[in-house]
């Protein structure tokens, strides 16, 4: 069986605080799976009721916050 093509679009917004604090501190927000596609990435392969049944999907839209300090 052939699985569908997987498409993932991620985005990042970052801000550097160097002009404000004179320290190399950066804050960022990552947006993962912007399109929110829940593409099937695994199917059942055992003969019988399990055959061809979706078993796994891509993760939903999610956000990741972070701060980076470079010395």
More confident call, 54 vs 68 = 68
Question: Residue 31 in contact with residue 11, Cβ under 8 Å?
Answer: yes
Question: Residue 8 in contact with residue 33, Cβ under 8 Å?
Answer: yes
pTM: 0.70
Q: In this structure, what token pair is assigned to residue 29?
A: 């927000």
Which of 33, 36, 28, 34 is CA-nearest to residue 12? 28
Sequence-ordered list of residues with C-beta below 8 angstroms from that of 52, at least 6 positions apart, any chain: 1, 43, 44
Confidence at residue 7, expressed as pLDDT on a 0 to 100 scale = 82
Q: pLDDT tens-digit profile of 1-37?
A: 677 788 889 999 999 999 999 999 999 999 999 998 8
């Amino acid at each position: 069986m052939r699985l569908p093509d997987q498409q993932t679009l991620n985005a990042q917004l970052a801000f550097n605080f160097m002009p404000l604090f004179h320290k190399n501190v950066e804050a960022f927000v990552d947006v993962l799976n912007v399109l929110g596609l829940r593409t099937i990435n695994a199917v059942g392969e055992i003969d019988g009721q399990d055959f061809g049944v979706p078993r796994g999907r891509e993760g939903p839209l999610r956000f990741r916050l972070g701060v980076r300090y470079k010395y």
